[in-house]
């Protein structure tokens, strides 16, 4: 017996568009889940989507035999710049060949051993942040989100293509970064704008220009490397010189350029958001901060962190896991059923219907996390408890074949930065009464957070 999926009252033609907050749709999805529970559906401009909010339903739709990733809404617009590069390629029945080739070539290049080899390049950028905060001194009100974003952008550019964006040396963003930010915001807005309005709104010329600015940088970096080869195992050289074992093919300059842009886009906001949320949660939870500091001082003392240190820092791992549970910086992903199906034994869903998985809601499921699910409590990730969770309770990096390729990269990068920042500084909130607000683009991050950074005696 199937029962209807609940849906808020809809307005003719536009459907449930007005149910979504324009600036922070996440707030609406949280409210809708509180109102309707484990599942609801929305009609946005004529397209029906199903939204799931519990571990049980997320686990069910993570079955790759029944469901496959879809490129919907904002992500579909991002294809305007990235095309069939890793993040935005569609796979499955209409597989794009470029995806398989890039995926197979790049998987080893993003593996643990390769990432350990990037440690010194990561440190190069991390040191720039430390130097800046030390020079600013404890009086300055620092916007950590801004500096973490400089850091993650510069890190991915330097590690993947040996290119220095030098974001710490400019007050305003480099032209490429400004173009990318505007492009991502506009891509997201386009997804919920009727086609007729799109033609009138007039952002189109600027949008095309931003795409061009980004493509130009990617193309330029590839051309420069082809003209002046260097002997370094970065991701760019991997893409230029490897051949796919399955097809014997390599990637052409255009595909390489789009994949480089993909790393810049997929590889910076999520990681800087994680760093900013972690800083926020730690400053709001002194007990957790005290334990983290004790671990850092015990394992590292005054010496620089090495890649092998992080596996000996369980509390640091737990802080990162707990941050991504409460604050998943990529808050949703989309799949669709390959065939007509029934969810949870009772909700009928037609083949191809977009199903949106809400990590924010799902990772607070009280059946999994208990009644204190809203609290920041790294202890719940310690001592084998994380490993013992039911499958798919924690999914901030997505799932399966289309899961995040940059996970080990991000993990090492944010481990290095958090360990180093709390080794060298005492941080405090600039405004002790600050409460979390969200800024949402394709990803989420804290809005308006300001901190003071006081160098610890003898550490910087």
Handedness of CA 213, 219, 224, 227 (dihedral sign): negative
Among 87, 148, 310, 425, binds ligand MNH (CB under 6 A): 87
Span between the terminal Cα atoms of the chain, in Å:
66
- Of the candidates 152, 270, 323, 443, the residue annotated as catalytic is 270
Helices 407-424, 144-161: axis angle to 10 degrees equals 130
329 is a site residue for ligand MNH (CB under 6 A): yes
Stretch that binds ligand MNH, among 56-64, 180-188, 245-253, 393-401 (CB under 6 A): 393-401
Determine whether 404 is an active site residue: yes
- Give the Å distances, CA to CA, from 450 to 267, 355, 447: 23, 36, 9
Report whether 404 belongs to an annotated binding site: yes
Q: What one-character-per-residue DSSP string does 220-268 give? A: HHHHHHHHS------HHHHHHH---TTT-----HHHHHHHHHHHHHHTT
Spatial CB neighbours of 361, under 8 Å, sequence gap ≥ 6: 29, 30, 33, 53, 54
Residue 163 as a binder of ligand MNH (CB under 6 A): the answer is no
Minimum distance from residue 403 beta carbon to ligand MNH (Å):
6
User: Are 40 and 31 contacting, i.e. CB atoms less than 8 angstroms apart?
Assistant: no
Q: In the complex, which residue's CB is closest to ligand MNH? A: 406
User: Of the residues 54, 87, 341, 404, which is catalytic?
Assistant: 404
Instruction: State which of residues 406, 425, 446, 451 lies at the interface with ligand MNH (CB under 6 A).
Output: 406
Mention every residue, 6+ apart, whose C-beta is less than 8 A from residue 428.
283, 451, 452, 454
Q: Which residues contact 173 (CB under 8 A, 6 or more apart)?
A: 167, 181
CB atoms within 10 A of CB 338: 15
| Min dist. Cβ of residue 135 to ligand MNH (A) | 27
Residue 159 falls in the annotated catalytic set: no
Residues 256-275 that bind ligand MNH (CB under 6 A): 262-263, 266-267, 270-271, 274
Residue 429, both tokens: 């909130």
| Contact between 397 and ligand MNH per CB under 6 A | yes
Which of these ranges, 41-49, 305-313, 403-411, 422-430, lies near ligand MNH under the rule CB under 6 A?
A: 403-411
Confirm whether 397 is a catalytic residue. Answer: yes
Q: Using CA atoms, how far apart are residues 336 and 331, in angstroms rounded to an integer?
A: 17
Report the residue number, 7 or 269, with the smaller CB distance to ligand MNH. Answer: 269
Tell the smallest beta-carbon distance from residue 430 to ligand MNH (Å): 25
Contact between 86 and ligand MNH by CB under 6 A: the answer reads yes
Task: Among 115, 151, 153, 156, indicate the residue that binds ligand MNH (CB under 6 A).
Answer: 156
Kind of pairing between the strands at 47-52 and 341-343: unpaired
Which of 397, 409, 422, 425 is catalytic? The answer is 397
Among 148, 409, 422, 425, binds ligand MNH (CB under 6 A): 409
Q: Which stretch binds ligand MNH (CB under 6 A): 58-66, 243-251, 390-398, 417-425?
A: 390-398
Distance in Å, CB of 323 to ligand MNH, minimum: 9
Q: Rounded CA gap, 88 and 76, in Å?
A: 7
Q: Is the CB of 7 or the CB of 54 nearer to ligand MNH?
A: 54
Q: Is residue 104 near ligand MNH by the rule CB under 6 A? A: no
Active-site positions read 270, 397, 404
Question: What are the binding residues for heme?
Answer: 404
């Amino acid at each position: 017996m199937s029962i209807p999926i609940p849906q808020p009252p809809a307005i003719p033609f536009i459907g449930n568009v007005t149910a979504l907050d324009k600036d922070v749709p996440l707030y609406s999805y949280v409210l809708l889940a509180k109102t309707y529970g484990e599942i609801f559906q929305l009609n946005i401009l004529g397209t029906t989507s199903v939204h799931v909010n519990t571990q049980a339903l997320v686990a069910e739709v993570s079955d790759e035999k029944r469901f496959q990733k879809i490129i919907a809404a904002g992500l579909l617009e991002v294809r305007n710049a990235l095309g069939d590069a890793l993040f935005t390629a569609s796979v499955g029945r209409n597989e794009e060949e470029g995806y398989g080739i890039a995926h197979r070539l790049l998987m080893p290049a993003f593996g643990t051993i390769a990432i350990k080899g990037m440690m010194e390049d990561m440190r190069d950028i991390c040191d720039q942040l430390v130097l800046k905060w030390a020079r600013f001194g404890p009086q300055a009100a620092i916007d950590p989100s801004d500096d973490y974003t400089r850091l993650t952008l510069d890190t991915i550019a330097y590690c993947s293509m040996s290119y220095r964006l030098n974001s710490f040396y400019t007050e305003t963003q480099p032209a490429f970064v400004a173009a990318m930010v505007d492009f991502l915001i506009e891509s997201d807005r386009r997804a919920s704008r009727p086609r007729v309005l799109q033609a009138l709104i007039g952002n189109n010329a600027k949008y095309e220009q931003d795409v061009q600015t980004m493509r130009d940088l990617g193309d330029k970096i590839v051309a420069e490397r082809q003209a002046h080869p260097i002997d370094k195992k970065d991701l760019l050289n991997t893409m230029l010189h490897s051949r796919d074992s399955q097809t014997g093919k390599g990637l052409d300059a255009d595909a390489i350029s789009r994949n480089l842009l993909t790393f810049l886009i997929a590889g910076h906001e999520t990681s800087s958001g994680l760093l900013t949320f972690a800083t926020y949660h730690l400053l709001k939870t002194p007990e957790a901060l005290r334990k983290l500091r004790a671990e850092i001082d015990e394992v590292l003392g005054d010496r620089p962190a090495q890649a092998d240190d992080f596996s000996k820092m369980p509390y640091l791992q737990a802080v990162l896991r707990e941050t991504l549970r409460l604050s998943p910086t990529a808050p949703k992903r989309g799949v669709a059923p390959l065939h007509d199906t029934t969810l949870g034994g009772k909700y009928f869903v037609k083949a191809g219907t977009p199903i949106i998985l809400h990590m924010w809601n799902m990772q607070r499921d009280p059946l999994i996390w208990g009644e204190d699910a809203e609290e920041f409590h790294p202890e719940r990730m310690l001592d084998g408890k994380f490993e013992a969770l039911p499958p798919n309770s924690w999914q901030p990096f997505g799932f399966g074949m289309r899961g995040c390729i940059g996970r080990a990269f991000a993990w090492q990068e944010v481990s290095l930065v958090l360990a180093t920042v709390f080794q060298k500084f005492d941080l405090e909130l600039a405004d002790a009464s600050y409460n979390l607000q969200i800024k949402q683009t394709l990803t989420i991050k804290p809005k308006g957070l300001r901190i003071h950074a006081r160098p610890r005696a003898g550490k910087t």
